[in-house]
Amino acid sequence: MYDHFQCQNPPDTDFIYLTAVSDARAEEPNSGLRPIKRNSEMKYLSCSLRLNNNNITDLHDLPKIVSYFLAEPLRLAWLDLSFNKITHIDEVLCQLQELRVLYLHGNNILILSEVDRLGTLPYLHSITLHGNAIEANKTYRNRVISVLPQLKSMDFSAVTRDERVMAKIWHHSNNRRRSKETLQ
């Protein structure tokens, strides 16, 4: 399992005003209150990464940056991409199979169905998406909970048993409606 210290003390590249994920290579992460341990290759012994509060629009180099910073990139469990300029949920996020917490709030994500891609992340239990255009969709919370049934928290709010039931009902009724439309 993941060491609590390692996940709570991420390399932090917030407020550096990166415009691309790949730009993070040229920056030294901010030092926090506690120094982050590194291995002999100077990679961080952490399972989390902060790239928040920048101007990032594209995530296609994310796997390279995770590998650049972290000693064990496949163990990335917590990723903060909040307050950037991300407009869609890139497929590269689906490669992060150990991801448990994903912050995407305060971006420019426009299409709610893109959240469906994250359904391939088996351990994702906490997500933030508020502050994106998709939040205005009336089915926003039901849709997200239905495609990510393992969620415990969404937008810093607990996912309740009743919400899970309602999302399941919504999902089934939505699928039936789509099936009828296809048959017509």
Say what the pTM is: 0.88
List, edge to edge, every strand of the sheet that includes 153-154.
Answer: 48-50, 78-80, 101-103, 126-128, 153-154, 157-158
DSSP string, 61-126: THHHHHHHHBSSGGG--EEE--SS---S--GGGGG-TT--EEE-TTS----GGGGGGGGG-TT--E
Tracing tokens 């209150």 back to the chain, one arrives at 33
Closest to 80 in 3D by CA, of 24, 10, 18:
10
Can you give the pLDDT of all 184 residues of the chain as single tens digits? 444 445 556 777 777 778 888 888 887 787 666 778 889 999 999 999 999 999 999 999 999 999 999 999 999 999 999 999 999 999 999 999 999 999 999 999 999 999 999 999 999 999 999 999 999 999 999 999 999 999 999 999 999 999 999 998 888 887 666 655 555 5
Distance CA 21, CA 6 (A): 22
DSSP per-residue string spanning 135-179: GGSTTHHHHHHHH-TT-SEETTEEPPHHHHHHHHHHHHHHHHHHH
| Structural domains of the chain, ranges and CATH numbers in brackets | 4-183 (3.80.10.10)
Rounded to whole angstroms, how far apart are CA atoms 70 and 126?
21
Compute the distance between CA of residue 169 and CA of residue 105 in angstroms, rounded to an integer. 26
pLDDT of residue 145: 96
- Burial class for 174, CB neighbours closer than 10 Å (0-12, 13-18, 19+): middle
CA-nearest of 163, 2, 156 to 80 is 156
